[in-house]
Amino acid sequence: MTVSGARYSVCVRDHFMIAHSFQGEVFGPAQRMHGATYVVDLQMQRQALDADGIVVDIGRATDVLKAVLAELNFRNLDEDHAFTGRNTTTEFLARVIFDRVAARIASGDLGEGAHGLDAMRVTLHESHVAWAAYEAPLPARG
């Protein structure tokens, strides 16, 4: 029996370290260059399990998250042209990671079983008391 609105999910976790600064008085001392270490949770969702009885291959999901985070890890984001003119806030970075993982799902990096994924959530933990996330449906594949 399927319950309306019921969903399965799998979450994998990794971390990355960056340096950056912000523009705007609202950021106070964070306007100066500072470092951040984020713990990242990547949650992938679907309404029904695949033929193997899983949401997605956890090993592949771990590898994809690690590859996406490697593009940011140990970087000064103020020097990355992709972020010129943007405050690389936790919320903003959650969306960046979401979009990059979604592109890898679309290109097949998570395998055929990932075609049933229909939503995803990326959570960046700044500390044990503060975090931000971006969650959205994934584009339908036809």
Residue 115: inside a domain, yes or no? yes
Res 131: pLDDT: 97
What is the model's pTM? 0.94
Residue 84: inside a domain, yes or no? yes
Burial of 56 (0-12, 13-18, 19+ CB in 10 A): buried
Residue whose token pair is 């984001």: 77
Residues shown for the chain: 142
Res 19: pLDDT: 98
Residue 7: inside a domain, yes or no? no
Residue 78: inside a domain, yes or no? yes
Residue 101: inside a domain, yes or no? yes
Res 2: pLDDT: 59
Q: Tokens representing 45?
A: 């969702």
The tally of domains found in the chain comes to 1
Q: pLDDT tens, position by position, for the chain (142 residues)?
A: 556 778 999 999 999 999 999 999 999 999 999 999 999 999 999 999 999 999 999 999 999 999 999 999 999 999 999 999 999 999 999 999 999 999 999 999 999 888 899 999 999 999 999 999 999 999 876 5
Phi-psi label, residue 108: left if phi above 0, alpha if psi -120 to 50, beta otherwise: left
Domain span at 85 = 17-137
Residue 3: inside a domain, yes or no? no
**Cβ 85 vs Cβ 24: under 8 Å:** no
80: CATH: 3.30.479.10
Residue 69: inside a domain, yes or no? yes
